[in-house]
Copies of this chain bind each other. A is one copy, B any other.
């Protein structure tokens, strides 16, 4: 390790000598420009340290930008911007953004038409809204400080947000003044505040993807609508002479009927009047459905899937190159004038202190070791390129022995060893499968025998207790046989464990008469899921399912945002128009009827129930919109609302159908793409996947010698006064105590989609890099050209 006298190759944010940062050029002090005097000459130690700290911080910011796919033109350009940047980029601020966004959206629960139990007075909810909006204003001001005015107004999303904010502000004040809500359709724009917040990046990506898929989608949609129109004219000509046919009596009805037929929601019914008069009229409907539903609709999926397919790869590529560029920027900032061809541990450690403040000194040291493949004391750019791969690693000393109970006394060792062997045996596994299967059959038979209706408020069948005991014993055996660490590292075991523990908790709660009824009923069959471990395909499917979950969740959130906007519009226009017996003039009157019918001498309430699908508050609206998404019988809601308002209402429902069709098609395309990708991947790496080691995720290994550890500890003590070095000390102590001359550490993290993609596109990635380094020589803000001579590593790679 070198001394403290390194001078940074590049100086950043030199406030005293701030140069104009127009066009982003000249943001750095280059060695050439500033003409620094020799090391330790006029610059004092503390000022040198300070400039290093600055460099560490900026390098950390670059890495962050690479990770978050933030463009470099939003990079802070001055020390003042840096302060705002640091203020804006921390979890507290993110959380505030999220909370204000959520608050604004949640407010619609309390604004009229409100959920009855959550209704608030006008001045309360309007004040809350104003408060939230003021917070948003504050956030925007901070962002402006960071970005500078010019960048700020060129940032489209932020500008839209500002406009919406302005409108909302005025409206909120109007509401406060008038003490009553007016027609506030603009509330439908509120999700923009949520979408814009940092934690909702995935939602933004989804929205972008939706918009990218739109042009081809709309083309095919036009084709669809065109055929619909042709068939509507045809249907009108053919069937309007039949007075018993309400579906085709006017051209408008004809179009609406065929639109609904597109969703199949009115299928046999729409055909029946014509069919009963002339059997051959079924040809019209069969041809229509074959063309529209079975051909063009699938075409829609094909087109979206194709766009999706291409976009995914392009996105991955640009993200990869962006990260690479970020790493190059960061690398430059960590070079010192004395040693311009690598980064020493000291600089790397400084970077990590900013980039991952929570990381312990030991882990920082181990990360450096993991990156340092050459074995020299320096990290080359080539080493540094793997920065993002090693960031999420969790480090742990590899145990010297095979089992967790190696250090126990001999008797205990033998017992645990026995349990270990039992638990790992095929026989044990298959016995458990059989138990689970028997349990499944048991539940089925038991439930079937309770034909008179179900009720066990305090009565728990003995079978339940028996099976639960077996599962409990199994969990205990496995935990003790494999050791807690190995046991809980498998997702399946975690699943087993939590289901069993929750079931026990439920049982205990039941004993105290707390009736966690649903709890137990739901948990019981969940055990059966384990049966799907048997077959490789199911394991694949379920693994992929878990890998997809975060992405699915973000897609779900995207859907909810669309729902929210439509719910607001629906509430503004259709609140309280639907009630029992409301639509007696429409063709769907039956579904809304609620009458008392006297059969014999019993009075029975005959309910149509559809009056429940209304827009009376936001929760009801969400359920109604979900029903519209599922599509079946959606026209009943549409016709009901239409009969109570005007026939323009249909536009709302049709638009909603098309929007959900887009989102749903994207979801289907996404699932298709993810699975096909995964299957291709496992086909390509069949031998790797069979390797159980690979299933544990990405693993790095590094060996630390005692001398090295002590040396590092010493270095840290020397340079980082006052920081917490307990993790490093502990490592040294462990070595001392066990009299090992070295310790092997394993860094482990779960595999991400990006890792899979890296492996899938292995060959192409090399090409991309070459192309990138050819066309896009790393020149942040145009200064590296001057450095090319002094920094050979950069052009060599």
Interface residues of A (CB under 8 A from B): 216, 219-220, 223, 226, 229-230, 233-234, 236-238, 240-241, 244, 249-252, 264-269, 272-273, 275-276, 279, 282, 286, 289, 293-295, 298-299, 301-303, 305-306, 309, 443-444, 447-448, 451, 453-455, 518, 521-522, 525-526, 528, 531-532, 535, 537-538, 541, 545, 552, 607, 609-610, 612-613, 619, 623, 626-627, 630-633, 636, 664, 667-668, 671-672, 675-676, 679
Q: Is the CB of B233 within 8 A of A276?
A: no
- Which residues of B have CB within 8 Å of A303? 675
Given A267-B633, A276-B609, A541 and B233 touching (CB < 8 A)? no
Docked complex Cα distance between A446 and B148 (Å):
59
Docked complex Cα distance between A276 and B608 (Å):
11
- Which residues of B have CB within 8 Å of A282? 623, 626
Q: Is the CB of A301 within 8 A of B672?
A: yes
Q: Is the CB of A453 within 8 A of B249?
A: yes
Q: Is the CB of B220 within 8 A of A541?
A: yes
- Which residues of B have CB within 8 Å of A298? 667-668, 671-672
Assuming A223-B541, A230-B528, A302-B672, what are 19 further A-B pairs, CB within 8 angstroms?
A: A229-B525, A230-B525, A230-B526, A233-B444, A236-B454, A238-B518, A238-B521, A244-B607, A264-B631, A268-B613, A268-B627, A272-B609, A272-B610, A272-B612, A276-B607, A279-B619, A279-B623, A294-B667, A302-B675
Q: Is the CB of A219 within 8 A of B676?
A: no
Q: List 28 A-B contacts (CB under 8 A).
A: A229-B444, A229-B525, A233-B525, A234-B525, A236-B447, A237-B454, A238-B518, A238-B521, A240-B453, A241-B454, A250-B451, A251-B447, A267-B630, A268-B613, A268-B627, A268-B633, A268-B636, A269-B633, A272-B607, A275-B612, A276-B607, A279-B623, A295-B552, A298-B671, A302-B672, A302-B675, A303-B675, A306-B675
Q: Is the CB of A671 within 8 A of B302?
A: yes
- Which residues of B have CB within 8 Å of A444? 229, 233, 251
Given A276-B609, A282-B623, A609-B273, A675 and B299 touching (CB < 8 A)? yes
Count this chain's copies in the assembly.
2
- Which residues of B have CB within 8 Å of A532? 223, 226
Chain B nearest CB from A337 CB (Å) reads: 50
Chain B nearest CB from A172 CB (Å) reads: 30
Given A272-B612, A537-B216, A612-B275, A233 and B447 touching (CB < 8 A)? yes
Residue of B nearest to A609 (CB): B272
Please tell me which one of the listed residues B273, B275, B607, B676 contacts residue A309 in the complex, with CB atoms under 8 A apart.
Answer: B676
Docked complex Cα distance between A282 and B451 (Å):
24
Docked complex Cα distance between A610 and B250 (Å):
24
Residue of B nearest to A242 (CB): B453
Q: Is the CB of A541 within 8 A of B299?
A: yes
Q: Is the CB of B226 within 8 A of A632?
A: no
Residue of B nearest to A628 (CB): B268
Residue of B nearest to A619 (CB): B279
Q: Is the CB of A237 within 8 A of B672?
A: no
- Which residues of B have CB within 8 Å of A672? 298, 301-302, 305, 672
Docked complex Cα distance between A229 and B524 (Å):
13
- Which residues of B have CB within 8 Å of A537? 216, 219
- Which residues of B have CB within 8 Å of A535? 219
Chain B nearest CB from A585 CB (Å) reads: 14
Given A236-B454, A279-B619, A632 and B268 touching (CB < 8 A)? yes
Docked complex Cα distance between A721 and B378 (Å):
90
Docked complex Cα distance between A279 and B621 (Å):
12
Docked complex Cα distance between A518 and B667 (Å):
41
Q: Is the CB of A306 within 8 A of B226?
A: no
Docked complex Cα distance between A294 and B302 (Å):
17
Chain B nearest CB from A229 CB (Å) reads: 7
Chain B nearest CB from A99 CB (Å) reads: 25
- Which residues of B have CB within 8 Å of A305? 672, 676
- Which residues of B have CB within 8 Å of A528? 226, 230
Chain B nearest CB from A728 CB (Å) reads: 47
Please tell me which one of the listed residues B267, B306, B521, B609 contacts residue A627 in the complex, with CB atoms under 8 A apart.
Answer: B267
Residue of B nearest to A528 (CB): B230
- Which residues of B have CB within 8 Å of A241? 453-455
Given A541-B220, A671-B295, A306 and B679 touching (CB < 8 A)? yes
- Which residues of B have CB within 8 Å of A531? 226
- Which residues of B have CB within 8 Å of A286? 626
Please tell me which one of the listed residues B268, B301, B610, B671 contacts residue A268 in the complex, with CB atoms under 8 A apart.
Answer: B610
- Which residues of B have CB within 8 Å of A223? 532, 538, 541
Chain B nearest CB from A277 CB (Å) reads: 11
- Which residues of B have CB within 8 Å of A252? 448
Docked complex Cα distance between A162 and B131 (Å):
83
Docked complex Cα distance between A676 and B301 (Å):
10
Q: Is the CB of B453 within 8 A of A630?
A: no
Chain B nearest CB from A307 CB (Å) reads: 9
- Which residues of B have CB within 8 Å of A267? 627, 630, 632-633
Please tell me which one of the listed residues B447, B448, B522, B612 contacts residue A276 in the complex, with CB atoms under 8 A apart.
Answer: B612
Q: Is the CB of B668 within 8 A of A264?
A: no
Chain B nearest CB from A243 CB (Å) reads: 8
Docked complex Cα distance between A703 and B794 (Å):
60
- Which residues of B have CB within 8 Å of A633? 267-269
Chain B nearest CB from A119 CB (Å) reads: 16
Which of the listed residues A302, A455, A518, A613 has the most CB atoms from chain B within 10 Å of its own CB? A302
Residue of B nearest to A219 (CB): B537
Chain B nearest CB from A236 CB (Å) reads: 6
Chain B nearest CB from A436 CB (Å) reads: 12
Residue of B nearest to A634 (CB): B268
- Which residues of B have CB within 8 Å of A264? 630-632
- Which residues of B have CB within 8 Å of A525? 229-230, 233-234
